[in-house]
Amino acid sequence: MRIGELSKRTGVSQRSLRYYEEQGLLTSSRSDAGQRHYSEAAVQRVALIRQLFDAGLSSRVIATVLPCVDIPGDLDVAEETFTAMTRERDRIDTEIAHLIETRDALDVLLRANSRHRAELSRAPEPVTRSA
């Protein structure tokens, strides 16, 4: 199938599909006219790539993980993939911890702001003097 059909079937833009190829995540063959042609398996491959991107993985990490799908019986590939996934999980854990700290700091500011707004709503209106 050509790139337009793959794009339509996967919901992924043609630009993204070309990017996936540039990053080594997806392969195609070329016609004599230079047009890209993809196998039927490319539909599932793109779905997997999207799932990995949606999970927050970078194209570099995805490129490290995909060989495990392509060559499932290779122990060295499985070990490299495990290491990459563990490293990525640790990165995500660090980001989560940072986000929790940020949320907790915002909670402190929200409580202080709520108290301040309550005080302002109880304060008497300032008296204006006319000249």
Is 5 in the same domain as 34? yes
Angle of helix 75-122 versus helix 59-70 axis, rounded to 10: 140
Buried b (16+ CB within 10 A) or exposed e, 69-103: eeeeeeeebeeebeebeeebeeeeeeeeeeeeeee
Q: What is the pTM of this model?
A: 0.69
Flag whether 131 is in a domain.
no
Question: What ranges make up the beta strands (E) of 16-86?
Answer: 29-30, 36-37
pLDDT in tens, 65-89: 898 888 888 888 889 889 988 998 9
Structural domains counted in the chain: 2
Q: For residue 99, what are the domain limits?
A: 58-122
Is 25 in the same domain as 66? no
pLDDT in tens, 25-71: 999 999 899 899 999 999 999 999 999 999 888 999 999 889 888 88
